[in-house]
Structure 1
Amino acid sequence: MANKVALVTGASSGIGESTALKLKDLGYTVYGAARRVDRMQHLTQSGIKILAMDVTDDASMQAGIEAIIAEFGRIDVLVNNAGYGSYGAVEDVQMEEARAQFNVNVFGAVRLIQLALPHMRAQRSGTIVNITSMGGKIHTPLGAWYHGTKFALEAISDCLRMEVQPFGIDVVVIEPGGIRTEWTGIAADKLRETSGHGPYAVQANAMAESMVGEASVKRQSPPQIIADTIARAVTAARPKTRYAIGFGAKPMIFMRGMLSDRTFDGMMRMATGISKALKTQKA
C-alpha cells in the first residue's frame, strides 16, 4: 500500500480518526480532512497529513483534492465520513436546517466523489467508501431529515456503483449501528433544542434520553470496528457492496425487512421509550 493514497473526511474524531489511523498502519499515505484542523494536530504524529476542509464549501474541497494530486498524482481511496445527525419533528425543523443536513451528509459527499472520480478513472482504479448508517435502511422517531440523507446516499451509492464499475472503481457502503462517538450526544442535544418543548416534547425528550441513556451507551460499539471494516473493504480484491456493522445494525436491518411498517413503528416506539412516555402523559 506504500504508493496508495487515501482521503478520509470527518477525521477529527470518532470513525474518521480511527479510519485514518488504521489506513496509515496499513501503509497508505493518508490525508485526514475536517473543518477544525486544531482537533487533528495529534494525527500528524502518526504521519497523517491533515487538510482543512468544509464539505459545504466547494472551494475547500477543490483545494483539498488539488493538493493531493499535486503531491502524489493519484487518489486511491475516498472515505466519505463527514456528517451529523439533525433530529427533530418534521413540523419543527426549519428548512434552513433541513438543507444544511442534506448539504453535509449528501451533497458534500457527492461533490467530493465528483472531484475524485476523474483521477480514479485516469488510473483505472479506486475505492469510494460512503458511510451511511443502519439509518439508511430503517427509521426512528423524530429522525426524518437524518434518515432522509442516509436513504439518499444509499441510493446514490447503488447508482454510482454501476456507473463506475467499467473503470475499475469500487463503491462500498458502510452501515454502522450504534457507535461510541460524539454523534449521539450532538444528535440528542439537537433534538431537545428543536422539539423538546411544544406538541412533540414528550416524544422528543423520551427519544433523546434513549439515545444518551446509560443502557444505550454501554451497548455501543467502539469506532475501531468500523475502521477495521473499512480496511477490509479497501484491501479486498472484490469487496462487498455493503457492510452492516456495529451494535444493532444487522438485527435491526433484518427486523425492518421482516416486519410490516406499522409493526416496526410500534417496536421503535417501545424501544425508544416513547410509548411509555405517551401513556404516562395520558394518565
Structure 2
Amino acid sequence: MTEAKVVLVTGANTGLGYEIIKALYASPQPYTLLLGSRTLFKGEAAAAQLKSEVPESTSTLTVIQTDVSSDASLEAAIALITDSHGRIDALVNNAGAGFDGQIRDEKMSIRDAFNASWDTNVTGNHVLTTLAIPLLLKSSDPRLIFVTSGTSSIWETDPANWGGMPPLARINASPVAGWPKPKEVNPITSYRSSKAGLNMLMREWARILKNDGVKVWGISPGFLATNLGGISPETLRKMGAREPHLGGEFMRDVVQGKYDEWAGSVIRSNNTKQPW
C-alpha cells in the first residue's frame, strides 16, 4: 500500500486554504494533511467544520500552528513535522493577506500596510520554505507551491494587453485626473505589488532547487469569493468572483500532478500560463 503523502497548507483555516484542504480531504487518494493556521483555536474550529462537511475520508488531518509573521512559530511547526512525519511531500504556501483597505480607511499608514503585506505574502513564505527544504528533499516527489494572484501580472497592466477582458480593465484602468483620487471599493496596490514579488521568489526557488528534483509553481487560483482584504464574499460575487471551492479543486489537481509539465510557471485555473 502506498504511503499517504504529507501535505502542509498554510492559512488553511479559512478562504482558499480551507478549500484546498477540503478538496484533498474529500479525494479518494489518502493524504496526511497538515492544516496550517495562525492560531490553533481557529485551526481546530476549521478542522471540526471540515470533518462535519466531509464525514468520510481516507486521509488524516492535523492542525499545525503556522504564523508566517513569526519565525518562532514556523521553526516550531517544522520541528513538530520533523518529529511526527520526517518529510513533507507538498508545501502549499497559501497564507496571505491584503491591507490596502486599511490604508483607504486610514486604519494603517502606507508604510505599515506595505510592510505587513510584504511580510505576510513574501517574507513569511520564504522563511517557511527555507526551513522546510530538508523535509521536502526527503520526499520521493517533492512539490513546492506559492499561491499568487491574477492581479500580479505586470504585462497585463498595459492596456494593449487587456484583450477585451473586463476584469483586467477594472483593476488596471486609470482613475480621473486630480488629487486625492476617489476611494476604491477594492484597492490592491500593496497586495498586487507583493504578489508580483512572490512570483520572483517562486522563480528563485525553481532555480535553486532545479537539480534537486523539486517541482515549483506559482498558482493563480482566480478571482474567488473569499474574505481576503475584508471585502465580503457577497460583494466580491457581485464583482464577478467565483466560488472558492473551484480554487481548492484546481490546487488539488496541481498537487496530484495534473500540471507537472508547467512547473516553474505561474499557472491559472483556466489552464493557461499567467504572463509575467
Identify unmatched segments of 5+ residues in structure 1.
Answer: 190-210, 258-283
Aligned equivalent of 1:81, options 94, 98, 101: 94
C-alpha distance in structure 2 between counterparts of 1:224 and 1:19, whole Å: 8
Q: CA deviation at 1:242?
A: 2.7
Q: What is the aligned partner in structure 1 of residue 143 from structure 2?
A: 127
TM-score (structure 1 length as normaliser): 0.71
Which amino acid is 2:250 matched to? Answer: T
Q: Where is the helix percentage greater, Structure 1 or Structure 2?
A: 1
Give the 3 Å change call, closer, same or farther, for CA 215–111 of structure 1 in structure 2.
same
Q: CA deviation at 1:239?
A: 4.3
Superposition RMSD in Å: 2.8
**Which secondary structure does the structure 2 equivalent of 1:98 belong to?**
helix
Q: How does 1:1-283 map to 2 (within 5 A)?
A: 2-24=3-25, 25=27, 26-41=29-44, 42-44=46-48, 45=51, 47-87=60-100, 88=103, 93-123=109-139, 125-137=141-153, 138=156, 140=171, 142-184=187-229, 186=230, 188=231, 212=235, 215-216=238-239, 219-236=240-257, 238-240=260-262, 241-245=265-269
TM-score (structure 2 length as normaliser): 0.73
User: What's the CA shift string for 1:231-251, capped at 9, x where partnerless?
Assistant: 2112217242332127xx979
Which amino acid is 1:16 matched to? Answer: G
Identify unmatched segments of 5+ residues in structure 2.
Answer: 55-59, 158-170, 173-186
Q: Is the 8 A contact 1:34 1:53 kept in 2?
A: yes
C-alpha distance in structure 2 between counterparts of 1:97 and 1:214, whole Å: 25
Q: CA deviation at 1:95?
A: 1.1
Q: What is the aligned partner in structure 2 of residue 268 from structure 1?
A: none
C-alpha distance in structure 2 between counterparts of 1:48 and 1:182, whole Å: 24
Paired residue total:
226
Q: CA deviation at 1:162?
A: 2.1
The structure number with the bigger radius of gyration is 1
**Which secondary structure does the structure 1 equivalent of 2:209 belong to?**
helix
C-alpha distance in structure 1 between counterparts of 2:87 and 2:261, whole Å: 21
Q: CA deviation at 1:212?
A: 2.6
